[in-house]
Amino acid sequence: MKKRVFSGIQPTGTIHIGNYLAAIRRWVIAQAEYESIFCIVDLHAITVPQEPKLLKAKNLEMAAILLAAGIDPGVSVIFVQSQIGAHAELAWILNCIIPMGWMLRMTQFKEKSQRQKEQVTTGLFDYPALMAADILLYRTNLVPVGEDQRQHVELARDVAERFNSRYGPTFELPEAVIPEVGSRIMGLKDPTKKMSKTGDEEGNVLGVLDSPDEIRAKIMKAVTDPLREIRFDPDRPGINNLLVIYELFSGESRAAIEQRFAGKGYAQFKAELAETVIEGLRPLQLRFRELMEDQRYIGRLLEEGAGRIRPVAEETLSTVKEKVGLGLPVLKGA
């Protein structure tokens, strides 16, 4: 049996090259080898306030980006999370076996809640339980994500183990698959923090749909250091991040890249990096624009995706409900 891959992405903010390099692009590769399911997680998106009309449009745009990047709906499933009710229902059941202490340890909640202060919702706190439900519903083996999601996938695994030991074997134990290079693409303006979809100063985030001019401008203004030496070095976060982006878009080895830019200035390196990124994103952008011309087609694919996968989710959920003892017993009488 083929192993099953599941991963998700929030349809909010700017979809950036961190999402693309660490997640989307690897999903495209994974689908050839594994049975793959990709989810646009709009229920996760509403853990922070969203404009309702915009959110629906974002679901569509997100699907178009995934398709344009090369997710093949004939091979993989793409669907919108809220179209399958089992996600929220399983999340509730899992809530009732997850110790508060596990959730309190989640670093992403700590970071996000510090930024949002009094606006923090219960949903934001509970986010990892919903993510565990996403993963466990489909008996997922592998979860390709960036480094920032590692802890959440580990929690999903712990929840699966806890459920299995309490109620008997039910869930597969999922494993995070994180790339060796580019698991944490950093901001262009602040390379000490990860590139993030929301709340960033101008020029920090390189969007997959950014125009060539935007890409050039942002890369030329990216923060580096005064050392003037173009070399991979994690202790020099600015230049290191740009080199990692170059490496991933060009496919060249580190040695070849360092040799190519030996003795050259940052401006020249940045100019070449910008052109490499522009070329790397060009097919996706072209295909995206074509796809957005026929929104009905995308809508149909999403409906079909949900239709194909809903029976799997419902079967898992009904097994879980049975094991937990929810609903009615076998009834006596006429």
Nearest to 204 by CA among 254, 238, 250: 238
Q: What is the DSSP string of 290-328?
A: HHHT-HHHHHHHHHHHHHHHHHHHHHHHHHHHHHHT-S-
Nearest to 54 by CA among 13, 90, 22: 13
Candidates 4, 14, 23, 60; binder of ligand TYM (CB under 6 A) is 23
Q: Interface with ligand TYM includes 148 (CB under 6 A)? A: yes
Locate tokens 């929220």: which residue? Answer: 88
Cβ atoms of 173 and 89 closer than 8 Å: no
C-alpha neighbours within 13 Å on the C-beta side of residue 166: 14
Q: Interface with ligand TYM includes 77 (CB under 6 A)? A: no
Q: Interface with ligand TYM includes 185 (CB under 6 A)? A: yes
H/E run at residue 240:
helix 237-250
Q: Which is nearer to ligand TYM, 131 or 274 (CB)?
A: 131
Choices 116-124, 143-151, 271-279, 318-326 (CB under 6 A): range interacting with ligand TYM: 143-151
| Token reading at 212 | 């060539």
Catalytic-residue membership of 194: yes
Choices 29-37, 127-135, 212-220, 267-275 (CB under 6 A): range interacting with ligand TYM: 127-135
Long-range contacts of 120-126 (CB under 8 A, 24+ apart): 121/47, 121/48, 123/46, 123/47, 124/47, 124/48, 126/47, 126/91, 126/95
Please state the length of the chain: 334
Cβ atoms of 238 and 272 closer than 8 Å: no
Candidates 129, 135, 160, 215; binder of ligand TYM (CB under 6 A) is 135
Q: Interface with ligand TYM includes 10 (CB under 6 A)? A: yes
- Residues 35 to 74: which contact ligand TYM by CB under 6 A? 41, 44
Candidates 149, 204, 224, 241; binder of ligand TYM (CB under 6 A) is 149
Q: Read off the DSSP letter of residue 22.
A: I
User: What binding mask, one character per residue, do residues 155-184 give for ligand TYM by CB under 6 A, x or -?
Assistant: ----------------------------xx
Q: Interface with ligand TYM includes 237 (CB under 6 A)? A: no
Nearest to 73 by CA among 328, 267, 307: 307
Choices 93-101, 109-117, 141-149, 281-289 (CB under 6 A): range interacting with ligand TYM: 141-149
Give the Cα separation of 288 and 61 in Å (integer).
9
Catalytic-residue membership of 323: no
Give the Cα separation of 103 and 288 in Å (integer).
37
Candidates 194, 216, 218, 270; binder of ligand TYM (CB under 6 A) is 194
Using CB under 6 A as the binding criterion, the count of chain residues that bind ligand TYM stands at 25
Q: Which is nearer to ligand TYM, 37 or 298 (CB)?
A: 37
Choices 140-148, 211-219, 285-293, 322-330 (CB under 6 A): range interacting with ligand TYM: 140-148
Choices 6-14, 110-118, 271-279, 323-331 (CB under 6 A): range interacting with ligand TYM: 6-14
Catalytic-residue membership of 197: yes
Candidates 30, 67, 145, 230; binder of ligand TYM (CB under 6 A) is 145
Give the Cα separation of 294 and 279 in Å (integer).
25
Q: Which is nearer to ligand TYM, 133 or 274 (CB)?
A: 133
Please state the separation of Cα 139 from the chain's center in Å: 19
Q: Which is nearer to ligand TYM, 131 or 256 (CB)?
A: 131
Candidates 4, 5, 14, 18; binder of ligand TYM (CB under 6 A) is 18
Contact residues for ligand TYM (CB under 6 A)? 6-10, 18-19, 22-23, 41, 44, 131, 134-135, 143, 145-146, 148-149, 152, 183-185, 194-195
Residues noted as catalytic: 112, 194, 197
